[in-house]
Amino acid sequence: MSELKDKICIITGAGTGIGKGIARRFAKAGATLVLASRKVANLDETAEECRGLGAEVMVHQTDVTSEDSVLSLFAATEQAHGRVDILINNSGVFDNGPFHELSLATWQKVVDVNLTGPFLCARSAFRIMLKTGGGRIVNVASISAQMCRPNASPYNSTKHALTGLTKSIALEGRDHDIVCSVLHPGNILTERRAASDTATDQEPMMTVDELAETALVMVMLPLHVNVLETIVLPTTQAYLGRG
């Protein structure tokens, strides 16, 4: 399959979970990958898998909460490949608790990773795409941006805000063939969840590979078409009745 042949794709949070699943799927589709995360060991593992699928892969250790680190990621990508066609803004963190017990440090940590990080990455991608004739940005949010979960105020708030950021970028990018979309996953059986003793006792789960198929469809569309928001969840997940 070569749906993404010759496409330069940056994926943040690519070492594990959703990011790793998307990286594998895009590798199968022929994309040239730039994988970013804080943990190099995880990135190297993902990169090895993707190279085994035939992809050209570059790894860049990145802290998305650091402006300098993000600028370095995009400068290295531009130097190596000359452009960015696709950005998958996937880095995220879940660190919550009862609202009245939340510390400012917890709040700030979640905001930095889930909102400031995507802003910094999207801004850098946007600047390059302006010069090269457009591209596509996909922000990975959550169904918590649609239906809040309890004891998760920082997470809920940042995912709502990421949806707003997506729409703002889409609005400003549309005259430049810069397309921005948001992907809202439901329950995903990531490595971390699979290792949990309670994983199988919780709500129904889907796999990262199933979500990655949706991400592929979103980025394959021509730049004059935008799936602005996509919600993907297990059919039997109690989504509409939660809260």
Q: Report, as residue numbers or ranges, the catalytic residues.
A: 155
Tally the C-alpha atoms within 13 A of residue 222's C-alpha that lie toward its C-beta: 1
The total of other beta-carbon atoms located within 10 Å of residue 108's CB is 13
Closest among 61, 62, 1, 58 to 26, alpha carbons compared: 1
End-to-end Cα distance, the chain: 41
| Beta-sheet strands, E only, within the chain | 8-12, 32-37, 57-61, 86-89, 135-140, 178-185, 229-232
Closest among 89, 80, 152, 143 to 121, alpha carbons compared: 89
Asked whether 30 and 4 are in contact (CB, 8 A), the reply is yes
